[in-house]
Chain A
Amino acid sequence: MALTHEQVLGRLQSAFGESILSNSLPYGMLKVEIPANKNVEVVKFLKEDPELQFIYLTDLCGVHFPEQTGREVGVVMHMHSLVHNYRIRIVYYMPEQKTEVNTLTEVFAAANWMERETYDFFGIRFTGHPDLRRILNVDHMEMFPLLKQYPLEDSSREDKDDRFFGR
């Protein structure tokens, strides 16, 4: 039995109603935006619902859109229903000043390192995470490098003339 987009969306809307803020089908894949404080609830529902069974967390990462005032920093999750071979994307945004959201480690153990990576690069604090510290970058780094206010280049490099390298 293959899942259809309408089926999944209908199931989510009947369970959460107004909390499904928006939905779209970029690249033929269902994308659903939810409020950040509902993330655990929705993900848990998607995983445990007998009809949907999104039992696999493919990916969890951050995004930063400085031009979206009030909802600059977001988390993007990809989930996979292995039984139906159906994938879904869940997105939730937070204001830049307070990037804090509940951890999903209690639903998916796989979220542990993914959330550490997201914290490492975007500074999103996952409350309740058992071990939230940097995972890929050096421990003493003082910035969250994928937030757009931080420069990509290494500031200590001396052999580049700024006039020619567009810094």
Chain B
Amino acid sequence: MSDIKIVEAPEGIEGQGFFATSLNTVIGMARANSLWPLPFATSCCGIEFMATMGSNYDLARFGSERMSFSPRQADLLMVMGTIAKKMGPILKQVYEQMAEPRWVISVGACASSGGIFDTYSVLQGIDRIIPVDVYVPGCPPRPEQIIDGVMKIQELVRSESLRRRNQPEYQALLASYGIE
């Protein structure tokens, strides 16, 4: 027997020759286990992320084998490191270029709140320019913490309703950030 663990089938009605479940759960499962991350790494959290991607911690186990260096083909924006105010518009543009559905994880104290850089040139948290789904604390966080954050994202993705992105609440959220 192989010791490779594969994702279990969602709840459903099973009989001889058929299996029925809701489309929501199937798509959620598929999305959660094939997230393509876009690493936006600017400093030491990015170094921790390299370890996370490497063979020891191996983020690929979670279906994130392929780093997407084009925002067009990415599902998950991972912001790791200090974002200067001058970098802000660029980060926002990267986010805008991603296709729906898209998720954002903010790794480390600097990306989440500005961290120790309470200064005129540093953006005090990326949630001032783009909506964030999961925050990972730490300065820098260990790879385990980053993996935990990605697993939290997977949970969100798995349970997200297919209609969520069309709801007025979501549109209002984007509008509050000035994103079309």
User: Among B85, B86, B114, B121, which residue has its beta carbon within 8 angstroms of that of A157?
Assistant: B114
A153 close to B113 (CB less than 8 A): no
Q: How far is the CA of A143 from the CA of B128 in the complex (A)?
A: 21
User: Among A138, A143, A150, A153, which residue has its beta carbon within 8 angstroms of that of B85?
Assistant: A138
* Residue of chain B at shortest CB distance from A165: B118
B119 close to A154 (CB less than 8 A): yes
Q: How far is the CA of A15 from the CA of B169 in the complex (A)?
A: 74
Q: How far is the CA of A154 from the CA of B120 in the complex (A)?
A: 5
Q: Is A163 positioned at the interface, with any CB of B under 8 Å from its CB?
A: no
Contact A152 to B119, CB < 8 A, known contacts A137-B86, A138-B85, A138-B86: yes
Q: How far is the CA of A154 from the CA of B128 in the complex (A)?
A: 13
Q: Is B52 positioned at the interface, with any CB of A under 8 Å from its CB?
A: no
Q: How far is the CA of A165 from the CA of B128 in the complex (A)?
A: 22
Q: How far is the CB of A126 from chain B (nearest CB, A)?
A: 22
User: Among A136, A138, A157, which residue has its beta carbon within 8 angstroms of that of B118?
Assistant: A157
Q: Is A156 positioned at the interface, with any CB of B under 8 Å from its CB?
A: yes
Complex interface bits, B110-133 against A, C-beta within 8 A gives 1, otherwise 0: 000110001111101000100000
B86 close to A153 (CB less than 8 A): no
DSSP majority for the A interface?
loop
B114: chain A residues within 8 A (beta carbon)? 154, 157
* Residue of chain B at shortest CB distance from A143: B120
Q: How far is the CB of B79 from chain A (nearest CB, A)?
A: 18
Q: How far is the CA of A17 from the CA of B56 in the complex (A)?
A: 69
Q: How far is the CA of A152 from the CA of B122 in the complex (A)?
A: 11
Q: Is A161 positioned at the interface, with any CB of B under 8 Å from its CB?
A: no
User: Which of B86, B113, B120, B124 neighbours the largest number of chain A CB atoms within 10 Å of its CB?
Assistant: B120
* Residue of chain A at shortest CB distance from B88: A138
Within 8 A of B (CB), among A35-83: none
* Residue of chain B at shortest CB distance from A141: B120
- What are 15 residue pairs bridging A and B, where the CB atoms are less than 8 Å apart in the complex? A136-B86, A137-B120, A138-B85, A141-B120, A143-B120, A145-B121, A150-B120, A152-B119, A154-B114, A154-B120, A154-B122, A156-B124, A157-B118, A157-B124, A159-B113
